[in-house]
Structure 1
């Protein structure tokens, strides 16, 4: 298997098209056409992790966090980022990062937290905007089913929990080809009228290339008329954070004890308890202060995240509990998610879960 083929598999879980603009996801080091001998899955790519990949004979590191986040003008080994890159390049080890693409995934970082906490009836906390597109195209009446099924096959017409959704309008199309044209119906140089159907289907942004390829391949005309527009519909399965319901309400003190044990954290920084049961729980792995207001609007009893600053805690305003469990702790199960996903998809080489604890924070 080539590196790019493995990346295509990972994009089934979380397409890179949904990475945040500020992020640096994708293949950061290495040649996408190289064969894969083994994959090491980690949260962070440190020098010790590259050494582990060398020992385990893995020439691809799949990392959640990108080791290269901002631009580099020199690679001299003066800091840990540059030393990682030098060692990876010297040993022909590729590095691939998913980060916010996996943050935004329905089955990504936040789904793992929900799974660990046993949350049910999950919903996206902050749905991602401008991710649903619409295709309108015009097809001869006799070819409608063929074209529509070709579009369905590559993901068109999927809306939330529904598939094969479309809308059709019958009408009459007209065209006249010049001397160099090769009309499928009618004769060049003559005005032709044809019974046509307008097909409208929605699709997710990352599928655009595949949708258009299927359209051009299945459509009978030499020149295909079509338009693609962006919709404002909320994407129910894509975005930052999640909110769900506990099977049974829990006392707030007992829930914090359960949270500390389940998320394997040494310390939970939280706002004052409100002396009411915890039922509705919002989560966002990593730095999540930007989602506090969304958690309040959603009616959460507690919002679990990380990297909250002093003034962020004031935003609770006695409406919910804010709980900072630590950045590493909130994302620690992500590498298990990636390794499990790859093991189900691939069986012809090793998928190794890194045994190195990359958390830079020590609690005294």
Structure 2
């Protein structure tokens, strides 16, 4: 299939607009119009992964971490980033990364960690703001239901566990068409009064074009009156980290042992084990120290993440247990998640998990 078809599907699940400002998710090497026959999925794109793609006939590599974070000024092969990019271009292999945008969605990286730990009742730890918009439009009562359904179908009106959500209030609209008009209601040159519904409906900002297209195609008026407002409301299904509950409370050490086993971690760096049992758990794949205050405010008993610095461990202040299992270890099930996501849509597409261990950190016991 064309690469654009696969990318369109992935970015419908994890839109690029959800990535952090510092990130570089998306298509890094390749042409959207190129045809791809097989994909290799890994956490990191290093030389051995590209070599594996060449050996197995994969013309696409999908990774969580982007190989290029900062701009490349030269391509001389002097470092591993340049060598990877050069080799991919030489062998016509596309490189695609789905990073903090996949971290941010409710069924992404952090959901996979929660699944491994058996957490239930999960929700986003720090919901993301400024990514929702509201459409307000005015429609004759008779055509309002058809218009609402078209907007729902286009992706508007979803709030948490609810869909087809809108607010409607009745009022009187007035208008007078000039000699060039073609009014649906009334006649040219005569002021018309008609009962209309004011329809308010929320939608994700990245779907604005699709929502407006549905509005214009399904609204009966020649001139459509509408307003779009940017909302500061946090999107409860998009954001950083997740929070969930264990089925049964666990002693601190038992929880850490379970965590180490389920996440296949070599080491767990942790703060003091507290007397209280652990039931509510916060998680964040990758570097998650920025969410410590959120985890404490949410009443978490433990916070599972990676890359905590020495002095940051003190910030737990005996309010919860910080469990740092390593960056790779928090995210190494992400490739499995990506394979599952892709197979749901493209069951016959050839996709394989890398056999390379891309963890740059080794442990001496």
| TM-score (norm. length: structure 1) | 0.96
For the structure 1 residues 225 and 266, does the alpha-carbon distance in structure 2 shift closer, same or farther, using more than 3 Å as the test?
Answer: same
Provide the residue aligned with 1:306 in structure 2: 306
Q: Deviations over 1:101-156 (max 9, x none)?
A: 01001011111111001111112111111122211011122211111110011221
Kept in 1, the 8 Å contact 2:125–2:295? The answer is: yes
Matched, 1:327 2:318: no
Provide the residue aligned with 2:45 in structure 1: 45
SS of 2:143's equivalent in the other structure is helix
Equivalence map 1:236-315=2 (5 Å): 236-315=236-315
Separation in 2 of the partners of 1:50 and 1:231? 43
Question: Cα RMSD between the aligned structures?
Answer: 1.5
Quick check: 219-228 or 188-197, which moved more? 188-197
Q: CA deviation at 1:180?
A: 4.1
Matched, 1:228 2:236: no
Provide the residue aligned with 1:23 in structure 2: 23
Kept in 1, the 8 Å contact 2:28–2:94? The answer is: yes
Separation in 2 of the partners of 1:224 and 1:49? 53
Provide the residue aligned with 2:341 in structure 1: 341
Q: CA deviation at 1:235?
A: 2.2
SS of 1:238's equivalent in the other structure is strand
Separation in 2 of the partners of 1:184 and 1:70? 55
SS of 2:279's equivalent in the other structure is strand
Provide the residue aligned with 2:60 in structure 1: 60
Provide the residue aligned with 1:145 in structure 2: 145
Q: CA deviation at 1:71?
A: 1.3
Q: Deviations over 1:224-276 (max 9, x none)?
A: 11111122333221111111111111111121111111111111111111132
Provide the residue aligned with 1:162 in structure 2: 162
SS of 2:253's equivalent in the other structure is helix
Provide the residue aligned with 1:90 in structure 2: 90
Quick check: 226-235 or 316-325, which moved more? 226-235
Q: Deviations over 1:195-224 (max 9, x none)?
A: 322111112223222111111111122221
Aligned pair count reads 364
Provide the residue aligned with 1:71 in structure 2: 71
Q: CA deviation at 1:352?
A: 1.1
Separation in 2 of the partners of 1:65 and 1:183? 54
Matched, 1:7 2:7: yes
SS of 1:355's equivalent in the other structure is coil
Q: Deviations over 1:89-112 (max 9, x none)?
A: 111111111100010010111111
For the structure 1 residues 304 and 170, does the alpha-carbon distance in structure 2 shift closer, same or farther, using more than 3 Å as the test?
Answer: same
Quick check: 248-257 or 329-338, which moved more? 248-257
Separation in 2 of the partners of 1:322 and 1:187? 71
Kept in 1, the 8 Å contact 2:343–2:349? The answer is: no
Q: Deviations over 1:155-202 (max 9, x none)?
A: 211111111111112222223344444433344444333332211111
Q: Deviations over 1:328-361 (max 9, x none)?
A: 0000000000001111210232011111111000
Separation in 1 of the partners of 2:159 and 2:308? 35
Separation in 2 of the partners of 1:91 and 1:187? 66
Separation in 2 of the partners of 1:257 and 1:345? 36
Separation in 1 of the partners of 2:201 and 2:104? 23
Separation in 2 of the partners of 1:76 and 1:180? 63
SS of 2:273's equivalent in the other structure is coil
| TM-score (norm. length: structure 2) | 0.96
Please list every run of 5 or more consecutive structure 2 residues that lacks an aligned counterpart in the other structure. Answer: none
Matched, 1:171 2:168: no
Separation in 2 of the partners of 1:61 and 1:201? 39
Separation in 2 of the partners of 1:183 and 1:311? 69
Separation in 2 of the partners of 1:98 and 1:179? 54
SS of 1:169's equivalent in the other structure is strand
SS of 2:183's equivalent in the other structure is coil
SS of 2:283's equivalent in the other structure is strand
Provide the residue aligned with 2:193 in structure 1: 193
Please list every run of 5 or more consecutive structure 1 residues that lacks an aligned counterpart in the other structure. Answer: none
Q: CA deviation at 1:4?
A: 1.1
Q: Deviations over 1:25-70 (max 9, x none)?
A: 1111111011121111111111111111122222111111111111
